[in-house]
Chains A and B, each alone.
Chain A
Amino acid sequence: MPVITYIESSNGKIKKNGFELASYSSELAKLLNTTAIALTVNVSDCSELGNYGISKALKISDDSLNEFNASTYADIITQAVNKTGANTIVVSSSLDSKYLAPILSANIEAAYINNVISLPSNLDPFTVKRTAFTNKAFSDTSSNSEKVIVGLSNNSFGLIENSIPIDEEIFEVSISNSNLSVESSEKVSGKISIADADIVVSAGRGMKGPENWNLIEDLADTLGAATACSKPVSDMGWRPHSEHVGQTGKPVATNLYIAIGISGAIQHLAGINSSKIKVVINSDPEAPFFKAADYGIVGDAFDVVPRLNEKLKEFKAQNS
């Protein structure tokens, strides 16, 4: 039974997390002595997935699928599962995939284990490590169902190159109607979303007011980073809700998280803990965030951030 992974795309291009999913799925397939199949929607060229061990791409092409609908998407994945006989399904931890996965789980009566950060430590029963208690702990969770859906945490596995020939096949599906229709959608254009970002620059109440956020945005621009904030900052309306990160906000799992003027309350840390490297800039050497940080600068953000930005610009100019 092959492993099947649903690879997300936007405007016909595979999203960055797709290559991590492909890497994970093909390594998982090796453990299971099988092959990994990718399912894509409206992507014409899937050859790149072959670089990460995917041996076959099932390509669905239908304009009515340009707009994401969770139950319709869960339905087409169900059809792919039925066609291939796959018992193991791998999806990402994007908002869309977290939306469709439980519906898929109900459809095919599969166990759904999300926030997964490793390959299985045991195949019988299928056991993986996941985060729980909003990153305050891990758990080894097993499935006792024949089918299992693995929701892979962002940036938890990385890329593993393994070039193999990929067979691309058109996959015809029947498309179900939904009683929910999208009226409009707003995307902040030209900005990187927290979910897609490799680097997140985040700031808190230490920035004193919204008028000072140009310092944060400039630094984020230089780094090609997304911007985020602590909860009080969004509660006070200094920044949009969508930037609120933490236990009750968005989770952040990036390679580099830079926290500026954030004290490091337990609720904040819980949401960002699974980021790989944390840099803290805070004027108070006693700020709890330093205990959770990899690198720290004790200093005034208004002094440090602009200088850091200039230095980074120089660095970027030399290294690109």
Chain B
Amino acid sequence: MFLFLKKILCTHSIFINFTYIWRNIITQVFMKVLVCISHVPDTTSKINFIEDDTKFDVQGVQFVINPNDEFGLTRAMWLKEKQGASIDVINVGNQSSEPTLRKALAIGADRAIRINSDPNDGFFVAKQISEYIKNNTYDLIIAGRESIDYNGAMVPGLIAGFLNINYVTNCIKLEIDNENVLLDREIDGGKETLKGKLPLIIGGQKGLVEESDLRIPNMRGIMQARQKPLEVIEPYDFNSNTETLKFQKPLPKQAVKLVDSENLDELINLLHNEAKVL
């Protein structure tokens, strides 16, 4: 009965807001931040497929923290250092993503959570993370605007939809003052400044911090990371709602047509008559 009630309450956003307010009233805790970490092939990776083009070939591929999440993690570190915040990092993945989570701990996160499953699609990942958040209230959830492997651009938006919390993506600036937040969002052809309140989830990207601000783990961090908790939890029973059936690589490109730099009319002619783009 109790479980049943909790299930009903859980699916309702009021529950989230209620526990959120309640926690802040009775306990004077620091801000709790959750950073979603996607474990992706390094940007220089050559992409190949195996098993009749149904699986990504991990052979020889180095995996890294998704670049958009790296900006978010550094922004979270600043919140920890300047405003007092605890930083949890979460990944939905199998054991192979643990080095990536350890790296996040070495950069300075306090605690890592891995939901033990193959991240089949964004819907599945977002459901898993949402369930976790329901049972572990956070003030701020930082994800990336998109992963560079799946490019779903959907996990944070889905979490926002499932939990009914404020959501801003393409976030290039985030300032928090108590429960008030001020954010910049990139829009097509410019940017927009938004005001809102915690709890909040963002899809971050470069701009949240600069490239030169990004943290790399130092020796001390790496040593400390070994002692930090990395909790593995089993997934909820959800189905993905999409399936990737087959991959293809782009067809090899035809050789470039070189035009002599003294013959620019020829280039214009080709663009106009052959390519038909002028």
Contact = CB atoms under 8 A, between A and B. Distances in A.
A70 B202 CA distance: 13
B151 A115 contact: yes
A293 B123 CA distance: 36
Contact of A267 (B43, B207, B259): B43
Contacts of B156: 102
B206 A294 contact: no
Query: Interface on chain A toward B: helix, strand, loop, or mixed SS?
Result: mixed
A30 interface: no
A312 B278 CA distance: 10
B258 A188 contact: no
Interface in B226-278: 239-250, 253-254, 256-261, 264-265, 267-268, 270-272, 275, 277-278
A296 B257 contact: yes
A139 B244 contact: yes
A180 B246 contact: no
B89 interface: no
Contact of A297 (B155, B267, B275): B267
Given A131-B151, A183-B195, A143 B241 contact: yes
A90 B125 CA distance: 23
A137 B267 contact: no
A316 B92 CA distance: 54
Nearest to A151: B153
A182 B206 contact: no
A102 B242 contact: no
Interface in A102-142: 102-107, 109-115, 125, 127, 131-142
Interface stretch (B24-32, B80-88, B97-105, B181-189): B181-189
A126 to B, nearest CB: 10
A239 interface: no
A147 to B, nearest CB: 9
Interface string B11-34: 000000000000000000000000
B114 to A, nearest CB: 23
Nearest to B181: A180
Counting chain B residues whose Cβ lies within 8 A of the other chain, the interface size class is 35 or more
B189 A112 contact: no
A63 interface: no
Contacts of A88: none
B192 interface: yes
Given A105-B161, A195-B189, A290-B256, A144 B250 contact: no
A256 B276 CA distance: 10
B206 A241 contact: yes
Contacts of A293: 256
A140 to B, nearest CB: 5
Interface string B94-112: 0000000000000000000
Interface stretch (B2-10, B134-142, B168-176, B217-225): B168-176
Contact of A307 (B41, B188, B264): B264
Interface string A90-109: 00001110111111111101
A165 B207 CA distance: 47
A295 B270 contact: yes
A96 B47 contact: no
A181 interface: yes
B166 interface: yes
Nearest to B145: A98
Interface of A: 70-71, 74, 94-96, 98-107, 109-115, 125, 127, 131-145, 179-188, 191-196, 198-199, 223, 235, 241-242, 244, 247-249, 255-256, 266-267, 270, 273, 276-277, 279-280, 290-299, 303-304, 307-308, 311-312, 315, 319
25 contacts: A70-B167, A74-B161, A102-B154, A102-B161, A109-B241, A111-B123, A127-B245, A134-B148, A136-B249, A137-B47, A138-B249, A179-B166, A180-B195, A180-B196, A183-B182, A186-B191, A235-B210, A255-B277, A277-B277, A295-B257, A295-B267, A296-B257, A297-B264, A298-B258, A304-B264
Given A180-B196, A266-B43, 15 more contacts: A99-B170, A106-B161, A106-B162, A137-B47, A140-B246, A141-B244, A193-B190, A244-B206, A267-B43, A276-B275, A276-B277, A290-B258, A295-B271, A296-B258, A308-B267
For the complex of A and B, 8 pairs with smallest distance between CB atoms: A106-B161, A102-B157, A193-B189, A299-B261, A187-B190, A185-B192, A145-B241, A102-B154
